[in-house]
Every structure is written in C-alpha cells, then in structure tokens.
Structure 1
Amino acid sequence: MTIYQNLLGEDFQRLHPKLQKRYALRKDKPFCAAGKMTSVQTGPWWLLPFLRLAAQWKFLFPESGKDIPFTIKNTCRTLPSGLDEVYWERTFYFDNATRHFNAFMTIDSERKVVRDYLGEPKLFYSDLYFDVLPDGSLVIRSGAQRFVMGKIEIPIPKLFEGVVEVKEGYDHVREAFTINVHIHNRLIGRLMTYEGEFNEETN
C-alpha cells in the first residue's frame, strides 16, 4: 500500500480508476509517462536570477513556453528509516534547456499530510493536503512550508509562502492524464504554472 493509499484511506476508491492505478505504485515498478505541457509560465522577469539558481537544484526554472514535451517518473522506495518514500522526477524539454522539478514525498500519518521536499539537494519543504473531487480527480494543496539548509529547516512566514494547487484527472476522450499546476505568492503573484496531459509508458 502506497503513501497515497494510506493518506486517503477509503477516499482512494473514489479516485478515477486510472488515477488509482497511477498512485498505487509498486516498489518494483515505477510509473513512467510522457506528454506535452500546452503552457508553462514562470514568474516576473525580476525573479530570473533566483529562478536560474533554483534550476540548478532541480526546483523552479526561468523558462516559459507552449507545447513543451514533458516526462514524469514516480518511484516508490523504502528508506533506511523504514519509511516509504515516493521520488518524483518531472522533466520539461525546452528548445534551449532541459529543466527538472523533482521532489521526495513521505507521509505524516499523525497529521494526515504528505511531507514534500523539493529540489536536489532538498531546498524547500511543504505540507501537502490531498482531496478527491466528485468527478474522481485529485486536488493537492500546500500547507506550512520551510526553507531547507542541510539539517536546518527555517519556517517561511505565510506571506512569503508559495501557494500550490494541483489538479490531476483523466480525460476519457483523449485517453490521457491531465494536469494543472498553479504556484503563486500572495505578494509577488505567479511563481510557476503549467498545464497539459501525459500518457503512461509501458515496457
């Protein structure tokens, strides 16, 4: 049983069957998919130095564009501590650069949240809350966040947080997973958005 099944409990069965299969990850078989993001938009121009730096940590990045090829790989594994972790590898193939947006997720059973560490090495932490909508799609929203500096984690004041909302579903007509991601800050506005679709790759 994956961290997502544990987190959602009975609600996991309310997910669209394709999403149930996607999130019921086996430790011996990663979920791999490829597709296209119809739109990728980053933050304002004056954030470019920060975004270029963040790109080196496989976090945020400065590029925007249309119809950007995209791949995703989710790998479930057991840590030395005994916790199950899901490693997220998201790759965007721009004309002049290949960018990554990677994460490491575990579950906090007591608080009923996913613990999400972003970047490599880990640069940023966020609580994530998972909800299933009536149509079987999945919504993920962010909670408390921290900067990560090695073993030190510094809480981020609410005003400076990156507010995240993700909606993932399945389109029967196009036979594809759909994704819509919005990350914004209450002061700055948009930090990054992307939306598009992808299909599972099977060996």
Structure 2
Amino acid sequence: MTPVYRQILGSDFDRLHPNVAWRYSIDSTSGVAQVATGIYESVYITSALPPPFWWHYAKRNALPAKSSRMVPFTQGHYCYVDELGRECLAVLRAFEYTTGPRNLNSLLVSGRGGLVDYFGDGPELLYPIEPSVTKAGELLLESGPMRWLGRGPKVGMKGMFSAQLKYIEGWDEARQRFRCDATVRNPVIGELLHFRGWFTAVDQACTLRDIPDEAWPLTLVDRED
C-alpha cells in the first residue's frame, strides 16, 4: 500500500523536509508504528462556545478538554486497511493535563475523493483535508468545513457556523525536533481552538495485533463528505 499523504501529494511528497517525509512514510505494510513525545506550549479553547459543547466532545475524544500551557503529550501513529479497503492512519493523542490525561483521537482515511479526517471515538466530526507542501518543506493541512457525525449538539455547517482546520508540521533544524501548530477557526468568532508545540518521534515494531483498540472508531463510517 501507499502512505496516505504520498497517495494524494504524489511527487510533491518528495519536497517535504526529509524528517517530515520520514514521519509520514509508514503504511499498513510497514510493520511499524510511530510514537511521538513532546510539549504543547499552548492549548486553547474559546470561551465563546458554552462549556457543555467542550465537555461533550472532549469526553468523546474529539476535541481538547481545556485551555492550558506547557502540556506534555504523546502521539501514536498506527496504519491499517479498514473493512472498506481504505488505507488509514490513526492518530492517538494524549494530553497529560495536571488534572489527568485526556485523549484526542482522529482517523485519516484515503477515501474515494481524497483525504478525510474523522475525529473522536464515534466518530463525532469529519473534516475533508487538502494537504500541500510549503516552500520550507513543511506539511500543511487545510480543511473544508467541518461536518457533524455524532449525536451531540448540531448547528448549520456553512457560512457563519463553519469551522475549518489548519495544521502545519515542520522540522526545527536548530533544536533538532519537530514543531506543530493546529488551529480551528470560525469566520465570526475567530479562533475556536489551537494546540501548538514541539516533539520528537521514533519508530517501533507494530503488528496488526499491537494496534490499540482506540485506533478503530466505534462505528465504520463510509461517509466522506
């Protein structure tokens, strides 16, 4: 199989910084997972949305739980082919808040029309993803408007109610580590959330049996838009 980002980026994948390309070169046939550890220097969720909104989706591992600073985290990448034959990259994040760990899980799928990212255990949220490579060799992910999948609070998804994701990951040559910055914005409220910081990563042997249960959503969803 071909790694999900290489499938979409094609020859542009080779313009990634070599360390970023290494990060995203595993697939379901690689026999490895990748484990990252680092610090989110800033985690932010807006106060413009009611607390029950954040409680609901944080409990379902679809959004960060709360704002904080200097939050240690781990992140695992696991690859497999799902029951629909789609190459998948599961990203399992654990925010180590002082009040206890909270998770943010997503599943990136190479779908029929491109990349789709499902967030949460349900899954709860869907983002269509458009990847690209910056001049500095960073991986840039930009989304279309978020779609709601779960049973939680629902509002319209267009115009003033839309929420779009931007994620950028690159290599910090001076400090010999990766940097990442994820932001979700709304055209009216502005920034809804962000988490940004740095990490290092290693490969580790991983068979299908070793992949954590959390890498599979509770429900197989074939909706991609």
TM-score (norm. length: structure 2): 0.82
Please name the residue that 2:41 is paired with: 38
Letter in 2 for 1:70: F
**CA–CA separation in structure 1 for the residues paired with 2:156 and 2:76:** 29
Q: How does 1:54-203 map to 2 (within 5 A)?
A: 54-109=57-112, 111=113, 113-149=114-150, 156-203=157-204
**CA–CA separation in structure 1 for the residues paired with 2:194 and 2:180:** 11
Deviation at 1:202, TM superposition (A): 4.6
Number of corresponding residues: 199
Structure 1 consecutive aligned stretches of length 4 or more whose deviation exceeds 4 Å: none
Letter in 2 for 1:198: F
Tell me: CA distance 1:74–1:155, structure 2 relative to 1, closer, same or farther (3 Å). farther
CA contact (8 A) 2:44 2:68 kept: yes
**CA–CA separation in structure 1 for the residues paired with 2:184 and 2:176:** 26
Q: Which residues of structure 2 form unaligned runs of 5+? A: 205-225
**CA–CA separation in structure 1 for the residues paired with 2:69 and 2:179:** 16
Residue 121 of structure 2 aligns to a residue in which SS?
coil
Letter in 1 for 2:123: K
Letter in 1 for 2:33: P
Deviation at 1:30, TM superposition (A): 1.0
Is 45-54 or 87-96 further displaced after alignment? Answer: 45-54
Deviation at 1:195, TM superposition (A): 1.0
Residue 82 of structure 1 aligns to a residue in which SS?
coil
Higher strand share: 1
Please name the residue that 1:49 is paired with: 52
Instruction: Please provide the CA RMSD for this pair.
Output: 1.9
**CA–CA separation in structure 2 for the residues paired with 1:46 and 1:144:** 18
Percent identity, aligned pairs only, is 25
Tell me: CA distance 1:195–1:149, structure 2 relative to 1, closer, same or farther (3 Å). closer
Residue 192 of structure 1 aligns to a residue in which SS?
strand
Residue 101 of structure 1 aligns to a residue in which SS?
strand
Tell me: CA distance 1:2–1:202, structure 2 relative to 1, closer, same or farther (3 Å). closer
TM-score (norm. length: structure 1): 0.91
Q: List per-residue Cα deviations over 1:105-150 (Å, max 9, x = no partner).
A: 11235x4x31111110101111011010111011110114321148
**CA–CA separation in structure 1 for the residues paired with 2:36 and 2:9:** 23
